[in-house]
Amino acid sequence: MSNNRNDDKTTVVKDSVINDWGLNQWEEKVAELPEVRKAGYQSLTELIGGTINKTFKVKTQRGVYVVRFNNDELPGIHRQTEAQILEAIRPLNIAPKLIVNNFSKGYLITEYFEGEPWQSEDLKNPEKLMQLADKIAPLHQIQFQNKRSELVFRMVEYIHYFSEMDTSLKSSINAIVTELIHLGFWKKQSNLLHFDLNPMNIIDNGQDICILDWEFAGAGHPLIEWCVVQNYAGVDVSEFLPQFPHISYHKKVQELIKLMMEMWQV
């Protein structure tokens, strides 16, 4: 099963040329990529499950790859930032091995990581949570300065993009963002985060886990990461992360993440 499923958001994506082609056209395009041609193209299968990009499992003589063609129409995706992050995490053994990231031509190729995606129940499992915590701890130790990728700046993009958002939802988001300004939270956004640790982005081969889909990764506070995990888990995970409940803005960040998830359903 599965190495790149993009994400499982239910947002309606605008029409894009990447969704207009038939499989035969995509096969020709994939086979012509220099890296695939060099590896000895054999066959491809489309990976279904995401809503953002067009992604294929590609068999070659040198092994199995995942080829992703980018769709840049959603807010919060900055391909140059993603490229910088993919280079930064190369030594961590946290993501599929990168073959090439040619964002100027709109595609990315990684090795295929064989395994099964986590389910929501896995995020409620203490042993699984500790495995995830151990995996992403080195990620959060990376100092990363990139204002555009910080959540508070992305919120501006999101609110502009979701123009039909309910007025009360927008007001609630703005109110919490302002409260967090007063608490000084937005001055502490210097760690590298994945930002979308939903269970479908965590692939498990029984011995190790691999994290997919780094296009929303950026600068932030680790608390945000775990509030996202808690939202997907649907239960309080703070007992496994004793450092976070004592931070004064923990509840406000959790409220903001919950509202953001509502926003993505617009």
Closest to 239 (Cα-Cα) out of 90, 100, 250: 250
Helix, strand, or coil (residue 216): coil
Measured over the CA atoms of residue 113, residue 114, residue 118 and residue 122, the dihedral's sign is: negative
Average pLDDT, the chain: 88
The pLDDT of residue 266 is: 65
Please give the model's pTM, rounded to 2 decimal places: 0.89
- HEC assignment per residue over 82-137: HHHHHHHCHHHCCCCCEEEEECCCCEEEEECCCCEECCHHHHHCHHHHHHHHHHHH
Amino acid, res. 154: R
Instruction: For the chain, give the percent of residues with pLDDT over 90.
Output: 73
Domains of the chain by range and CATH?
Answer: 17-115 (3.30.200.20), 117-263 (3.90.1200.10)
Rg (CA), the chain: 19
What local confidence, expressed as pLDDT, does residue 250 receive? 87
CA distance 246 to 129: 19
- Helices within 122-240 (DSSP H only): 126-140, 151-161, 167-182, 222-233
Give the Cα separation of 218 and 36 in Å (integer): 29
Q: What does the pLDDT look like over 41-76, one tens digit per residue?
A: 999 999 986 667 899 999 999 999 999 999 876 788
